[in-house]
Amino acid sequence: MPVAMDPVDYPPLPQPDELSRPFWEGCRQHKLLIQRCRRCGRYIHTPRYVCRHCLSTELEPSEVSGRGTVDTFEIPLQPWTAYYKKRVPYVLAIVALEEEKHLKMVTNIVECEPEEVYIGMPVEVTFLDVTEDVTLPLFKPTAPG
C-alpha cells in the first residue's frame, strides 16, 4: 500500500477487525466468504459473535456462489468522497445473495451502464484489487447462458 494515498484514486478502505477479517481475507483470495452458523446453517452478514437465529456462537466463514439479484439500488449524485465524486454516475446497490432469503450486502454494480440496472437483475461477484492488502467485492451483470 502506498504511503500517501491519493483519495481520488482509492475508495474508503475497510478496517478489518476480528469479526470481519475472514470476509476481507476471502475477498483478497477472490472468494466470497459469508459467516454461517454451524448449528442452524443460516448465513449472517455482516459478521457477528452470536447467531441471530439460534444464538449459537459456532460461526464460521463459508464460501458462497457469488450469484444474486439486485434488491435495490441508487445512483448517487452527490457522493461524499473524492473517489466516488470522480466516478459519477455509478451504482450503489444492495444485492440479495442466492443462498438465502434476506441475505444481502451493500456493494456497487459495475461493468454496465447505470441506466441498465434494474431491481431483480441477475448479478455475480467480481473482485477489485484496490491495494496489495484490500480487495473489494463488487457485482456485475451475470453473463448470459
Give residues in contact with Zn ion (CB under 5 A).
37, 39-40, 51, 53-54, 56
Compute the least distance from the CB of residue 5 to Zn ion, in Å. 39
User: Cβ closer to Zn ion: 30 or 39?
Assistant: 39
SS3 sequence, the chain?
CCCCCCCCCCCCCCCCCCCCHHHHHHHHCCCCEEEEECCCCCEECCCCCCCCCCCCCCEEEEECCCEEEEEEEECCCCCCCHHHHCCCCCEEEEEEECCCCCCEEEEEECCCCHHHCCCCCEEEEEEEECCCCCEEEEEEECCCC
CB of 44 to Zn ion, least distance (A): 8
Nearest distance from C-beta of residue 2 to Zn ion, angstroms: 41
Which of residues 56 and 131 has its CB atom nearest to Zn ion in the complex? 56
